[in-house]
Amino acid sequence: MAPRILLVRHGQTEWSLLGRHTGRTDIPLLEEGRRGAKLLGERLRRAPWSGLPGLEVRTSPLLRASETCELAGFGDRAEPWDALMEWDYGAYEGLTPPEIRAEAGPGWVIWRNGVRDGEALAEVAARADEVVEWARSADRDVLVFAHGHILRVLAARWLSLDPSFAARLKLDPASLSVLGWAYGAPAVDHWNDAGHLEG
């Protein structure tokens, strides 16, 4: 069996709801985020996932991701990993895109222009490559709990694409995505699936 990687973006936080860039600021989930994490866990305990026995589980050490992991029922199996931390937004931490554009110019886009005094996109991609290498290192699936931008970059690198391709990948809080294989090449099995939150 070729290994797959299951990606979970953390549940809703106050800053994700407001569109604020939340890199290394360690904020908790909102009640809506806690509910989403629990619903995701219920989904993963049912067929076809059946609790995902035998999977290796890693989580960003930041509270919003580790709390999502715990509430979904995987906390006792998870190992924290700094490689899964969100992009360090530097001077843009806590700001919304309109606030950043007021300073950086109206054409600012994070995927093209990056951030001031933070991590370069290439550095985020290097961390994503580390996760991809780990995921492909053995004959088993893996499950990771992390953040919107790092997971989007991870998907781009799984596909051997430039990290800026991540701009084309929307990712909602408490969503489930699966990266696998098609015809022997890396592929996207599911993306941004939030069916467990509906109803």
pLDDT in tens, 155-185: 999 999 999 999 999 999 999 999 999 999 9
- Given this model, what pLDDT does residue 7 score? 98
Q: How confident is the model at residue 1 (pLDDT cuts 50, 70, 90)?
A: low
Q: Say which residue, 42 or 138, is predicted with more confidence.
A: 42
* Mutual angle of helices 63-71 and 31-45, in 10-degree steps: 40
pTM of the full predicted structure?
Answer: 0.96
Place of tokens 């799984």: 158
* Mutual angle of helices 148-158 and 121-135, in 10-degree steps: 60
Q: Are 151 and 177 in contact (CB under 8 A)?
A: yes
Q: Say which residue, 48 or 58, is predicted with more confidence.
A: 58
pLDDT in tens, 78-109: 999 999 999 999 999 999 999 999 999 999 99
Domains of the chain: 5-197 (3.40.50.1240)
Give binding residues for substrate as ranges. Answer: 22-23, 64, 86-89
- Given this model, what pLDDT does residue 29 score? 97
Give me the mean pLDDT over the 189-199 stretch.
91
Q: Decide if 190 is catalytic.
A: no
Which of these is catalytic: 56, 67, 70, 86?
A: 86
Give me the mean pLDDT over the 44-51 stretch.
92
Is the pLDDT at 199 greater than 90? The verdict is: no
Give me the mean pLDDT over the 108-135 stretch.
97
Q: Decide if 10 is catalytic.
A: yes
- Given this model, what pLDDT does residue 78 score? 97
